[in-house]
Amino acid sequence: MKTPTFRQRLRYDAGGVLPEDLRDWVLHDLTGRGSTPRYLARFLVPLVAVLLLFLLFPGPNWIAALMMLLIIIPVVYFASGLHLVYRAFRLGQHGIDAASIPRATPSAKRDRKTYEANYRHP
């Protein structure tokens, strides 16, 4: 699988579209193993850099830490909740149909079959 150059990767992380020959890499990046931590890191790393500016305010550091928490907790909450929406948008940007990506894992399907076999109502 071809990987993007450093410049292409920076552009991609900032929301840009990669060339067609990197479509497999984009699919793996957005749906493969570890995609959720990568997604959260793209949101949180730039945010943490900005939040560290709160340490420049005069006063005790615990107040700055609480101000940072007041921002970072809702960001993590909403970023986690909108993960699938953002992934579908990014896949669409690169010309990949998001509906073609299976949402349920094989283990979830197996668990559902087991549940239905054990607790099915007549």
The per-residue pLDDT for 76 is 93
Return the structure tokens found at 58: 């005069």
Residues 6+ apart with CB under 8 A from 33: none
CB 13 within 8 A of CB 30: no
Contact 69, 60 (CB under 8 A): no
User: What pLDDT does residue 104 have?
Assistant: 63
Question: How many residues can be counted in the chain?
Answer: 122
Residues 6+ apart with CB under 8 A from 19: 8
pTM above 0.75, yes or no: no
Integer Cα distance of 28 and 3 in angstroms: 11
pLDDT of res. 108 = 78
- The parts of the chain modelled with pLDDT lower than 50 are none
User: What pLDDT was estimated at residue 111?
Assistant: 85
